Structure 1
């Protein structure tokens, strides 16, 4: 059975004994330091209070908090009861929020006061027999509002903590969290993330052989995703610290890095491009930051690394997996590979019938592990979806990949995002890569929209670099000399921002649903067209 010694609840207890006064989490906003002793003590208080409220082993509890020490302590407190944390995307509202609340079957929630209006609105009209009854409120100022739920201030809730909560500590096979997928292509599913999976995800993001106790991980990431949880796990393995900020802010990034001595971070989505597009300064390479995990890589990785004095790494990961493919100790094969297979995992690129394909052939990436409990334990309350994902004893990622003869893997596209035009299969990621090479483009997203001739047309949605004003004609002209004719978009729309999940994934389902709007430029008409229906 997987042991309990390296699960995060056990690690915090051990570090609290070994280095009680060492900083574990530092707030970038306030500079307040939360030590390992503070973390261990606060987690125990949450465990005792939750136990007093009736939370037991195997039960679910919702957490809807911004990145903060309360979110960490409540998570570890639940783990010490062997209960299951269900972190909610703090951007959820309406039906999406209601869905997670109901699907989780949780009777108790810990939420920030700022989310109470949306929680009440989302659950209005539900039956009085609904499971959720009590909300522990963090950050409440003044009187608590009147709602259909029983509300209790976090400080009053914690004041009830008493007695022993001793249960067998969680092992690597136990569920660390039920994390709902981002839903970029469909309805969210609750991923059963084991503690062993969480540990391997953390060490894939911050390999322990590359770092030590003096390192600091800059984490402007949400706690409802592994990008926010993994730094907490990795630094605890090392006895290092996390610099926590509630959200990424380009303007504050380098000041935070210098002020707090951050040595490593993750740059998700367009974050690296946001930094790359800032005016150059002579001291760009002079910050304490020496390492960055880029997801995905920028177009000029070498130039990015040289400008900022960084060792750049990358990986491929999903909520369901554990960094099974990654670059080896900072050694990138090229600017487009996700890396090579990590020890302890197996990977194939397969066709629609799960037959393995050869080098250079496009198919779906499937994965499995040598060690048990290192990939997700399934989808919460969705046995059919679990069986479908694990058909033929391989986890099916839903991502189109190729591999080369040297064992490097290449992400091509989400299979559902692929575009079929003029008899050709087109990677939206490849189109976006070329559009993003335009000097006036910050980021872009390519989607399929219906064609009056059948199959698809390509629409590219573009965010301009600050201060730049590219025109659709310029962008299309730029692409004509860079991509095959069938890959040149018919439609271009320039917008202020792209719809994204909090983990910076573009919600292409929204872009496809938007279809052709009055603001969309049509290459065939040379002007905006009237809106036409779209499919998602």
Structure 2
């Protein structure tokens, strides 16, 4: 069944209108649970409105792009809502990013402002000179545990913002969050006269991992975010009684699209954790009375390996979304007395299938049944359909206006190329069975899935290639002890050059997120290539995996990466 006609009409599909309506209808009912705090729908609306007023007074206007680099906290939620109320575009940035990739995100997104935790000020200040459009920096005080997580045991003093960003106007988040009540009257007048946000206005730019080139910013409208959330309600049956828990960072599309917005549409609750912890996960699920949560596969494996406990079934959770579903599917459901759900959704384009709680359990290996809002086919290398059950490339085409993404920001040519022959080519291989269930097989793209993070092999290669001793490099996945991918680099050195693995890691760490830094490193005389000169990474992987115990391993060497 397609989206119900009883849902909000298209012109009313903005996050701002949705939150205002829920504040009026739900009032003092809880919306956000965080640690020992509880925020109602009315408070969420009021706090985000004050923040929006403060941002507007600081110069943020409709259509402006604002980069956000914050640890999970209620303030991040209010910021998302506040920017939506202004009609500004939120650009969530992975907190682990640094160096050239960080400046790329700021520049490529045309961000004119940055909201950042104090703990990340130094790394942002290091690239600000490369980002001439970044003229406003709003810094938020970090909690002690954030400093410890990022910098270690010793907390540095609060940063001198004016010295860190000499070419930008700097403000404290706490000042901006007060709204315009304490400011000049003209700010209130300007706020009242602001341009109204429309359903078609961009809500987010969510960056995907670069595969054959730089990372692409996927454009998500208000209408699209709401349409996808409504599909969750329809398929998973969320209601006002549901508590959706997430420990995933709010810069990830998963936490926004699978938890925050569906909970909002349902009039339910969001239970927010700072980050994933195997020790704290189930205690938090119990504390918040969570009825649903999402897990990435590495998280699932870590929880599964914990000793069984009589408390495993002592919780209110009824649904657990896992992408992809684990091989111990049935055992997981039985152990925790929970129903696993899943889906196939591409951050570049949209949702193709959903595996709901009522789906046949014998279809557990699938990513669910194809949704009618999206046409999905399997095509061969010549873009021709393959027979049912045959593996090929998963390709998609939206049947519903605003159900899919609106393209790549400033990279229209790349999006058009992916949409050749009217089909968006996902770069993933899979098949569809006779009952219309989609099965993911593997990725054609050069993306390494490491413990819940998508790592671009191309971006890691670009950093390594800049080392003066490196002639050629190939970065590729190898299977780890968690049954997931780890990052490996095979390197050919320039003639007469010297480089060891420890020195390579020291070169990589300041230039990339910690989860991108190679774990396995091997120096080789040559790389296998095709007649056209493309590196045959599958041969490198096949050669390396049986020998991993003998290959240099960063974790075994005792090197601890700084986050």
TM-score interval, normalised by the smaller of the two chains: 0.7 to 0.9
1:463 corresponds to: 481
Instruction: Note if contact 2:67-2:113 (Cα within 8 Å) is conserved in structure 1.
Output: yes
- State how far apart, in whole Å, the 2-side matches of 1:221 and 1:184 are: 23
What secondary structure, in the 3-state scheme, does the structure 2 residue paired with 1:402 have?
strand
- Return 5+ residue gaps in structure 2 as ranges: 1-7, 143-156, 181-186, 458-473, 484-507, 525-540, 554-563
1:134 corresponds to: 136
- State how far apart, in whole Å, the 2-side matches of 1:210 and 1:525 are: 47
1:179 corresponds to: 206
- 1:50 deviates by 2.1
1:226 corresponds to: 253
With 163-172 and 366-375 compared, the bigger mean Cα shift is at 163-172
- Which of 378, 390, 394 is equivalent to 1:349? 378
Sort the Cα spacing of 1:459 and 1:217 in 2 relative to 1 into closer, same or farther, 3 A: closer
Larger relative contact order (Cα-Cα within 8 Å, sequence gap ≥ 6): 2
Matches within 5 A, 1:11-22: 11-22=18-29
Verify: 1:290 aligned to 2:340, yes or no. Answer: no
- State how far apart, in whole Å, the 1-side matches of 2:545 and 2:204 are: 47
- State how far apart, in whole Å, the 2-side matches of 1:383 and 1:207 are: 32
- State how far apart, in whole Å, the 2-side matches of 1:47 and 1:241 are: 22
- 1:113 deviates by 0.9
1:156 corresponds to: 175
With 215-224 and 326-335 compared, the bigger mean Cα shift is at 326-335
* TM-score, normalised with respect to structure 1: 0.77
2:353 corresponds to: 325
Instruction: Note if contact 2:14-2:197 (Cα within 8 Å) is conserved in structure 1.
Output: yes
Verify: 1:262 aligned to 2:273, yes or no. Answer: no
Sort the Cα spacing of 1:333 and 1:7 in 2 relative to 1 into closer, same or farther, 3 A: farther
Matches within 5 A, 1:301-320: 301-320=329-348
- Which of 50, 62, 67 is equivalent to 1:45? 50
- State how far apart, in whole Å, the 1-side matches of 2:83 and 2:546 are: 58
Instruction: Note if contact 1:62-1:85 (Cα within 8 Å) is conserved in structure 2.
Output: yes
- 1:157 deviates by 2.3
- State how far apart, in whole Å, the 2-side matches of 1:337 and 1:505 are: 32
Sort the Cα spacing of 1:266 and 1:457 in 2 relative to 1 into closer, same or farther, 3 A: closer
- 1:118 deviates by 0.7
1:97 corresponds to: 102
Q: Give me the CA root mean square deviation.
A: 3.5
- State how far apart, in whole Å, the 1-side matches of 2:316 and 2:10 are: 36
Instruction: Note if contact 1:193-1:320 (Cα within 8 Å) is conserved in structure 2.
Output: no
Sort the Cα spacing of 1:272 and 1:464 in 2 relative to 1 into closer, same or farther, 3 A: closer
- State how far apart, in whole Å, the 2-side matches of 1:367 and 1:186 are: 22
* TM-score, normalised with respect to structure 2: 0.73
- State how far apart, in whole Å, the 2-side matches of 1:277 and 1:346 are: 38
Instruction: Note if contact 1:293-1:314 (Cα within 8 Å) is conserved in structure 2.
Output: yes
- Return 5+ residue gaps in structure 1 as ranges: 419-427, 437-444, 448-455, 466-498, 532-536
- 1:56 deviates by 2.1
- Which of 385, 398, 405 is equivalent to 2:434? 405
- State how far apart, in whole Å, the 1-side matches of 2:210 and 2:390 are: 28
Sort the Cα spacing of 1:33 and 1:528 in 2 relative to 1 into closer, same or farther, 3 A: same
Q: Which whole-Å deviations, capped at 9, do the CAs of 1:479-530 have from their partners, x for residues lacking one?
A: xxxxxxxxxxxxxxxxxxxx9xxxx9986x957x94569xx99688897368
- State how far apart, in whole Å, the 2-side matches of 1:526 and 1:144 are: 46
Sort the Cα spacing of 1:203 and 1:320 in 2 relative to 1 into closer, same or farther, 3 A: farther
Paired positions, count: 456
- State how far apart, in whole Å, the 1-side matches of 2:61 and 2:15 are: 19
| Bigger helix fraction | 2
1:246 corresponds to: 274
Matches within 5 A, 1:516-535: 528=550
Sort the Cα spacing of 1:505 and 1:115 in 2 relative to 1 into closer, same or farther, 3 A: closer
- 1:2 deviates by 6.5
What secondary structure, in the 3-state scheme, does the structure 2 residue paired with 1:271 have?
helix
Sort the Cα spacing of 1:211 and 1:457 in 2 relative to 1 into closer, same or farther, 3 A: closer
Sort the Cα spacing of 1:207 and 1:142 in 2 relative to 1 into closer, same or farther, 3 A: same
Sort the Cα spacing of 1:12 and 1:160 in 2 relative to 1 into closer, same or farther, 3 A: closer
- State how far apart, in whole Å, the 2-side matches of 1:228 and 1:416 are: 24
What secondary structure, in the 3-state scheme, does the structure 1 residue paired with 2:174 have?
helix
- State how far apart, in whole Å, the 1-side matches of 2:285 and 2:252 are: 22
Q: Which whole-Å deviations, capped at 9, do the CAs of 1:298-331 have from their partners, x for residues lacking one?
A: 1021111011001111101121233321114441
What secondary structure, in the 3-state scheme, does the structure 2 residue paired with 1:58 have?
coil
- 1:121 deviates by 1.7
Instruction: Note if contact 1:134-1:151 (Cα within 8 Å) is conserved in structure 2.
Output: yes
What secondary structure, in the 3-state scheme, does the structure 1 residue paired with 2:204 have?
strand
